Structure 1
């Protein structure tokens, strides 16, 4: 902040009245939109308040993601009576009206996806964003998404967005492929409990056998389905890193109700909890807990395979192949309507700390034990019998390996895993197992 001269008095004791606010560099952005973001600066009564309000406004403008840079200058202007007033000047540089690029993302099934995008930031001058994406994954998934998003009342934390998409997806572990054409609308907002996302989605799905080896049980579910659902997600993430945290916790809870039209009906509830604690010598212990349950309100129809829970693979239950835990038919994973999983992890620096302060800080040794189960609730059994089956028929594995953190993009794991407990039909993967992704249990 340039041009401001003050005496030795504490800033909170120096009176301040903002004479005017000048915003330089606006082209596409609407004037009234920016005025709302800066109006409260006029409420400052002293220099300390003025500095705090100017800094808060600067951060708020940057979080709208429509400016390449935001700078604030404060100048004094003498009154006739000798009192000091201040002129606040915001110098902004807007982002280009059109942009694009290519980047990689990593999904929960050990799969990398290349994403090409074109976008128009600040489309109509009030921080809207129109984006067109095309996705292509290594395992063959591909499709396009047209997305529109807008902050409500200029608040970057409260946002409405809507997408129209078509995706062609393959599920080799279950022997089917699927074409999805859909529309969704999201409303995201914060609260004292965490960040909320309320979504409505309507999707037309066409499920087909992937190849000739697809089991008859999966083929029976082939065909078209129309799902209309409303979903609520609450996320409270207090970790110091989403990729390889050393402290903090994550709590995530999701509920979905399908049946607002269409021919798909279910209630679904899913939860995740992660706790991280830093110990001596840069050692971190982590506890992860996951669980979910779903129910079809119509007892005469079965929950479809593309809506069920799956478990297994290097990102969830290590020691098993992708979605390899739970009911199978001729090698195809069928999933279940309830599941649980737990993992206890110990992360330590590399032995003897090679590359400390440099590349060595991106590596960790990894010791773990994980367990879990995927289960179908039996309606002809009592509640206690179902709980007993869910808890007693669990899978268990332990192992050790090396973790590489790739910045804030993803992480790699190379582990040697020993499965201790498995059930008939499971797809077990003992020995070396490689994983790449963002979210690991």
Structure 2
């Protein structure tokens, strides 16, 4: 099973986007290049054979989906482009360490004068790989150890074990990932996990043990996911000084929920985008599939980015959420929303806004938060690119509110509660982009609209995370 052979004598025309060609990865020793691209585009060719050399445990039918478009090329330029696209698809499977492409003239019996053969030379990943890295969450850092068995069943499946030790959470779990052959965006993921977290703003310790199954699939320009999760939760007090309200929440509970998420993302980057927008909607329904937690939870995120003069970017964000208990149940402190901190409403301490009891913050059943930013390159820098391009200065204005609702009063009273006692802040700061995975902020904040019980951070505030208001 070391070679895959495919043959086609009647290729169909296909027009696609120009993804570019990597000369180091595509070789054409048997084809004499023409001096002009227009001549190559008008020279008809037929891709007669495609080989994949270097296979070990990979099933042949998986690769047929990824390389079939190569047969649709009608000239040499298209052959090179579609071969490059097929190479990118093979690398995206996560089962090959290296993929190179060789384009040559057809040889042997049945070879046509204008026939070509394309060979993909692949190097498979080892059966067991390990990793060690650090990750950044919302004002949290973690050390992550992982073991993976890529291509465990021969069709790009992945079995993994991960242990994470962080400043607020420690977790470990086993996962199994299975993509659909020919449609890598459509996949199934199974998880079994345990998460132990400490939340000092609520004097709360939480330990979760659970399983989940998630189906991910694209619909038009959106990414959709459906998920079932069953979690056994144990809540306890983090300190002997915890408030009575937190002690009341302590104990065991079982949450069994179905959730749906939709994401539309046209941003040029998830960290400091120059243009584009984001829409993320998430719904969770608990109680109808068992467990003692019964609620409907809705939240959304909207972000718009517009490029201005001299490399400046104007960015606007809006978050919101609503938690509705079902029946006679009451909402748990583990399910409510929290707001405030360097990644949301700046100038306030981490999750230290809204309902609280004896200094312990209990979260809210409804919230909204909005942010307006003006990002600019560093002043007095003549050159663009390089290390200094990772930095931005920004002016910001944040606002938001978090509260509990009386569900017997109706929607109008809910909106009135959210519009009362709005917290807001403004300031300026320096932003550092860490690749395309996280960013750091050092801001000078001036909190306004402070309410009784809120904990503020007036002056310099540092933030690190992957999701910012």
Could you say which TM-score interval applies, normalised by the shorter chain?
over 0.9
Pairing of 1:157-236 with structure 2 (within 5 A): 157-236=185-264
> C-alpha displacement at 1:70, in angstroms?
1.3
Work out whether residues 106 and 112 of structure 2, in 8 Å CA contact, stay in contact via their aligned partners in 1.
no
> C-alpha displacement at 1:51, in angstroms?
3.6
> C-alpha displacement at 1:81, in angstroms?
8.6
Question: 2:138 aligned with 1:138, yes or no?
Answer: no
Alignment partners' CA distance in 2, 1:364 and 1:4 = 48
Alignment partners' CA distance in 1, 2:384 and 2:43 = 49
Alignment partners' CA distance in 1, 2:255 and 2:313 = 42
Work out whether residues 5 and 76 of structure 1, in 8 Å CA contact, stay in contact via their aligned partners in 2.
no
- Select the residue among 330, 336, 339 that pairs with 2:358: 330
- Judging changes above 3 Å, is the alpha-carbon distance between structure 1 residues 361 and 96 closer, same or farther for their aligned structure 2 residues? same
- Judging changes above 3 Å, is the alpha-carbon distance between structure 1 residues 203 and 282 closer, same or farther for their aligned structure 2 residues? same
- Judging changes above 3 Å, is the alpha-carbon distance between structure 1 residues 326 and 150 closer, same or farther for their aligned structure 2 residues? same
> C-alpha displacement at 1:382, in angstroms?
3.8
List gaps (5 residues or longer) in structure 1. none
Name the structure 1 match of 2:118.
Answer: 88
- Select the residue among 74, 82, 92 that pairs with 2:103: 74
Work out whether residues 300 and 321 of structure 2, in 8 Å CA contact, stay in contact via their aligned partners in 1.
yes
> C-alpha displacement at 1:38, in angstroms?
2.5
Alignment partners' CA distance in 2, 1:380 and 1:49 = 65
- Judging changes above 3 Å, is the alpha-carbon distance between structure 1 residues 26 and 216 closer, same or farther for their aligned structure 2 residues? same
Instruction: State the Cα deviation string for residues 210-262 of structure 1 (Å, max 9, x = none).
Output: 11111111111111111111111111222122121222111111111111111
Question: 2:377 aligned with 1:349, yes or no?
Answer: yes
TM-score normalised according to structure 2 size: 0.89
Instruction: State the Cα deviation string for residues 99-135 of structure 1 (Å, max 9, x = none).
Output: 1111111222x11111110111111111111111101
Name the structure 2 match of 1:34.
Answer: 63
Deviating more after overlay: 94-103 vs 71-80: 71-80
Deviating more after overlay: 11-20 vs 120-129: 11-20
Work out whether residues 395 and 428 of structure 2, in 8 Å CA contact, stay in contact via their aligned partners in 1.
yes
Work out whether residues 167 and 179 of structure 1, in 8 Å CA contact, stay in contact via their aligned partners in 2.
yes
> C-alpha displacement at 1:10, in angstroms?
4.1
Question: 2:129 aligned with 1:102, yes or no?
Answer: no
> C-alpha displacement at 1:269, in angstroms?
0.9
TM-score normalised according to structure 1 size: 0.94
Question: 2:304 aligned with 1:270, yes or no?
Answer: no
